[in-house]
Amino acid sequence: MSDNLVVIGTQWGDEGKGKIVDWLTEQFAAVVRFQGGHNAGHTLVIQGEKTVLHLIPSGILRPQVRCLIGNGVVLSLSALMEELETLEQAGIATAGRLQVSSACNLILPYHIALDEARERALGQQAIGTTGRGIGPCYEDKVARRGIRLYELLDEAHFSRRVQAVMAYHNTILQQVFGAEPLASQPVINAALAYRTRIEPLIADVPDELYRLSQAGQRILFEGAQGALLDIDHGTYPYVTSSNTLSGAAASGSGLGPRALHYVLGIVKAYTTRVGSGPFPTELNDAVGQYLGERGHEFGATTGRKRRCGWLDIVALRRSLQLNSVSGLCITKLDVLDGLEVLKLCVAYRYQDQELTTPPLDGRQFTVCEPVYEELPGWSDSTAGITCYADLPAAARAYLTRIAELCNTPLAVISTGPDRADTLVLDPQLARAAD
């Protein structure tokens, strides 16, 4: 297989990236998170035991794998420490394996207060953020007033910086949103309380990755959220606050783009979306309820119910183009077991036009109607199948049609949540099954 691999979600998130990253990491020396924050939720199931990760890369369950959090991630110190404690209590050793970029911007309590105040003010037009301060932290980063992790190591400097930034944000909280201001000293004290634990984890991640690469070690880059939530290319403004595409693996980690060799696009066998925003194939009927119940479609981070619908090939094709996807990994195939008829959205109807690419104007996207192609379903169970020939003929036909419509080869099929419930089709990825 090519040296380094980027695992990317190709829809609106929740495609099952965590399981696939964990399954693949046996082949890699290091796993890197390169964007997002603790608004991500990656659920891993190994021999029936479930672990949910938010910030720490999914490779942490492999004892020989190094895990790095890149500069593109916005960092909640409290969330990171809570996650570390949970892993340690479960007997998963993290010491010496986890490193965090000194350039990560810190999420602090005033970011959360701003996030919540903004969503309240938007009312019915709310974006549907997780309320965890992700967006305001990225705003501070772009405005060049963000506070980076390395600044925490100088107490006097850190205190001055927090006081200055909070004076600015408290004005907005009071005068724009009518919210209560936050006192700066408790914010400073809470962050400094983590300094002893975080300092040994701080690293020059770009240099660490360069050294690994030069030594011939293989690196896996783990995306969070999904490509259709990308701040630039997603269904704006109903998007996340970071670049979620495969190209962000370079800028968000510090390893150059020529070191990204293979992009694995994770695609749920149907489509889900959390929060607000356009969703042409959404099903508010018995089938949508069936998908939600069988797929356990509740957010691992927030517990919010996911909206469910048929697989949207139009949006998926755009995502595959944006990410230069090398191969498809179809997840949750077993959720479709028992449906008599399946549908694939192959075009949108907008006014008198039939569109085969998504509109760039989000207002148009909202009113697009799906044009469907129907395929027969199957009644036999696909759960846990690891040989392609053992899948029902209708399931194979469904998968083949997805690959044809997307002009992208099938690489992996996931037939259940456990690490073992994985079927490999691309020889370049076959070693993960050994």
Task: Give the catalytic positions in this structure.
Answer: 14, 42
Q: What is the DSSP string of 222-276?
A: E--S-GGG-TTTSSTTSS-SS--STTHHHHTTS--GGG--EEEEEEESSEEE-SS
Buried b (16+ CB within 10 A) or exposed e, 397-428: ebbebbbebbebebbbbbbbbbbebbbbbbee
Q: Give the angle subtended at the CA of 158 by the CAs of 157 and 164, to the nearest 5°.
A: 90
**Strand-pair partners of 268:** 331
Q: How many Å apart are CA 152 and CA 106, to the nearest integer?
A: 9
* C-alpha closest to that of 326 among 423, 403, 408, 426: 408
Which residues contact residue 426 at a Cβ distance below 8 angstroms, ignoring those fewer than 6 apart?
Answer: 327, 409, 410, 411, 412
Q: Give the angle subtended at the CA of 281 by the CAs of 277 and 284, to the nearest 5°.
A: 85
Give the up-direction half-sphere exposure of residue 398: CA atoms within 13 A in the CB hemisphere: 31
Q: How many helices (H) and strands (E) does the chain have?
A: 13, 20
Whether 36 and 134 have beta carbons less than 8 Å apart is answered as: yes
Burial of 167 (0-12, 13-18, 19+ CB in 10 A): exposed
Structure tokens at 279: 């969703």
Q: Which single residue is written with the structure tokens 């996807």?
A: 325
Whether 255 and 218 have beta carbons less than 8 Å apart is answered as: no
The H or E element that residue 397 is part of is helix 393-406
The values of phi and psi at residue 409, to 5°, are -70, 150
Structure tokens at 122: 């938007």
SS (H, E, C) 296-355: CCECCCCCCECEEECEEHHHHHHHHHHHCCCEEEEECHHHHCCCCEEEEEEEEEECCEEE
